[in-house]
């Protein structure tokens, strides 16, 4: 039987575990012998690789993060360590890989393919939702629900104490989490890299609202703007309202995967195995415009992510 190894790499995201389970179960029905690589690229180098058992993937659907663990391994940039990784795979009869992760992980496997021609399929999994060519990455819906619950709770306190709360979300240079969260929670302000913001205009809007009886403000700020601290000070100084900053941080990566993330994991996993069966060598699974598909890794590494412009349009009024 041909060996197929599954790994998770880069930042963890809810939905990785359902994807691992589906990849193992579905690949076995297609005649592969599934293996699991633990600790991401580090495990690939250090040979932390074993044949997948039923026990390995039982009871993991509801678990957040990744049971395979992950790492950011700078040693993989050195050819001699990639050679070790290749030798480890060869010794176990592994001829194909599935990597569940983000663009950095895909880039690493692309280099690995260039060195040793080991075909791989990529499943996009990052709460940043910043993989070019796909509208959705595993973990996004769960992260949005974590943020939504946090903002709802903070709003209760904001209203009780007549305060403003600035809530910083993750997402690197992509404002998707912040924008969708602002819309879903009814925030009064949203600052993201994709939209120009005008504090003078917002000041006029908020002063009028306060005069009309508004007693609190919820501002969602994407970490990529580096404006969370400034916004908190601006609200205090310009609006005269007590303001507090809440940085949600890595809590956004955790939590039991939502139904959507679990179902998306199945779609992506089946597509990844089928991609390798069809002889494709380095394809990334995608969900674009409501349709599942694939795209070459070269498109991913040579393109910039584009945020859904309909969401950007809806959020513009929250930045002026």
Q: How far apart are CA 66 and CA 47, in angstroms?
A: 18
Catalytic-residue membership of 198: no
Active-site residue among 39, 46, 103, 128? 128
Cβ pair 40, 9 in contact under 8 A:
yes
Contacts of 55 (CB under 8 A, 6+ apart): none
- As annotated, the active-site residues are 128
């Amino acid at each position: 039987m041909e060996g197929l190894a599954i790994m998770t790499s880069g930042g963890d995201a809810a939905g990785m575990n359902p994807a691992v389970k589906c990849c193992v179960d579905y690949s076995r029905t297609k005649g592969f012998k599934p293996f699991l690589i633990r600790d991401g690229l580090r495990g690939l180098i250090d040979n932390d690789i074993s044949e997948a058992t039923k026990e390995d993937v039982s009871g993991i659907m509801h678990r957040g993060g990744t049971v395979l663990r992950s790492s950011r391994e700078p040693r993989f940039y050195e050819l001699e360590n990639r050679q070790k990784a290749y030798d480890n795979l060869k010794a176990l009869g592994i001829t194909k890989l599935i990597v569940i992760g983000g663009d950095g992980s895909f880039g690493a496997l692309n280099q690995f393919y260039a060195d040793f021609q080991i075909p791989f399929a990529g499943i996009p999994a990052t709460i940043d939702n910043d993989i070019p060519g796909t509208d959705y990455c595993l973990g996004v819906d769960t992260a949005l629900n974590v943020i939504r619950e946090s903002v709802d709770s903070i709003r209760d306190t904001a209203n009780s104490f007549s305060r403003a709360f600035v809530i910083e979300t993750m997402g690197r240079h992509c404002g998707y989490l912040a924008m969708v969260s602002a819309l879903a929670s009814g925030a009064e302000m949203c600052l993201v890299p994709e939209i120009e913001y005008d504090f003078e205009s917002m000041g006029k809007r908020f002063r009028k609202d306060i005069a009309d009886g508004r007693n609190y403000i919820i501002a969602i700020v994407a970490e990529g703007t580096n404006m969370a601290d400034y916004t908190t000070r601006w609200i205090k100084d310009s609006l005269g309202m007590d303001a507090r900053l809440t940085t949600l941080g890595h809590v956004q990566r955790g939590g039991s995967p939502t139904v959507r993330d679990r179902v998306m994991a199945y779609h992506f996993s089946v597509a990844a195995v089928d991609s390798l069966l069809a002889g494709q060598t380095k394809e990334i699974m995608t969900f674009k415009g409501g349709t599942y598909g694939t795209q070459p890794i070269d498109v991913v590494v040579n393109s910039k992510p584009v945020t859904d412009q309909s969401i950007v349009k809806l959020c513009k009024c929250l930045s002026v």
